[in-house]
Amino acid sequence: MDSNQFKDLVARAERQAEADPRGYLLRVCGIAALGLGILGVVIGLALVNLALIAGLLLLVIITGGKALLLFLKLGKLLVLLALPVWAMLRATFTLLCARFPPLIGREIGSDEAPALFARLAALRERIAGPRVHRVLLTDELNAAIVQRPRLGIFGWSENTLILGLRLLQAVSEAEAMAVVAHEYGHLAGNHGRFAGFIYRFRSAWGRLQAMSEQWSDWGSRLIARLFRWYAPRFNAYTFALARQNEYLADRTSAELVGAGQAADALMRVGIAARYESEGFWPAIQRRIAREPEPPAGRSLLRRQRQREGLDAEARQRYLDAAQREATDPFDTHPALVDRLAALGACADPAAAQRLAPPVTSAAEAWFGSLLPVLSAEFDRRWCDEVSGEW
């Protein structure tokens, strides 16, 4: 499926969702059931092949080895029959026994950030949601909660909260909790059990499709082709529901921490993202020509530049630019202007005035004396990654 076909299917599904919400959900049930059926067929083929092999072995044992003589007489015919059986068996076991790629990040223990884990425990109690098993810190301006099955396709999920250090350094603790509450809303299925299932099923199929791209033998490629046919269609058709879920997760955030904090978090992250792409990183690139090595204290430098460069005028300019952006048809996340409108907020001059860089960031509140150590770890890793360009 090319990008135009995907876009057309998304638009058609959104029109159906708007015109007939109940009928759209029934169609989503149908396409999700098809996905479960595909997985069931793949697993069933593996079981059939196992049963066939076990039956042949049992026949050899029962006949005292006489059946083995018959197999030898069949010769090439048996080989021709066995090859596709073996290929399919290998392909299905590749799927069933595969493990999803590990998540990359620096794991944070409860003893390293007790304030963060206390806030997560309180959030879980309020929303009566599932446990967050791990917290990973990354060098990103983003946050997410990822549910990954420990046993591959068989399940036993592990929930991992991923927090970007650059995001935590840009927002206050209350705003960071608004971001976490949004992500936790997805995990807890606060937009409904069925919608929560579809949210996780979309994520699982995306990972299955990506994983199948690595399969090389022809039997596995047959399954991979089936996955590549189904996954984009499921993704496109459930796109409208996924976008609705983003609004509902924002509503969950507003209910848990307040609509004002939820809106401020959205605007603050939008400002930080534009500042980094238009201010900080271009300035870093200009240093390549005149400095022999990348700056070692990148995190401290970014913090200083944010305080100096994000005055009220710059914040308003970045917010105005974000307000002009329309929702991307290929992104389930609505544009900032649409998300703010759903929360009853707007990026007005008063918002630009109050969204100065926080005196105490969420990173400082949650990591305390550990923050310089974490920043130094990510700075060293970044220096190693970009040293070839310098």
> What is the three-class DSSP state of 292?
coil
Give the integer Cα–Cα distance in Å for 45 and 90.
11
| pTM of the predicted protein model | 0.75
User: CA-CA distances (angstroms) from residue 300 to 296, 375, 377?
Assistant: 9, 8, 13
DSSP letter assigned to residue 152? G
Q: What is the mean pLDDT of residues 62-81?
A: 61
Answer whether residue 310 shows pLDDT above 60: yes
Read off the pLDDT band of 326 (50, 70, 90).
confident
Contact 178, 311 (CB under 8 A): no
pLDDT digits (tens, 9 = 90+) for 150-189: 665 555 678 899 999 999 999 999 999 999 999 988 877 6
Give the integer Cα–Cα distance in Å for 76 and 48.
22
Answer whether residue 192 shows pLDDT above 60: no
Contact 120, 132 (CB under 8 A): yes
Read off the pLDDT band of 230 (50, 70, 90).
confident
Which pair of tokens denotes residue 259? 């609509």
pLDDT digits (tens, 9 = 90+) for 337-389: 999 999 999 888 888 889 998 989 999 999 999 999 999 999 999 999 888 87
The confidence score (pLDDT) of residue 95 equals 55
Largest CA distance in the chain: 89
Read off the pLDDT band of 93 (50, 70, 90).
low
Answer whether residue 94 shows pLDDT above 70: no
Answer whether residue 30 shows pLDDT above 70: yes
Give the integer Cα–Cα distance in Å for 322 and 337.
7
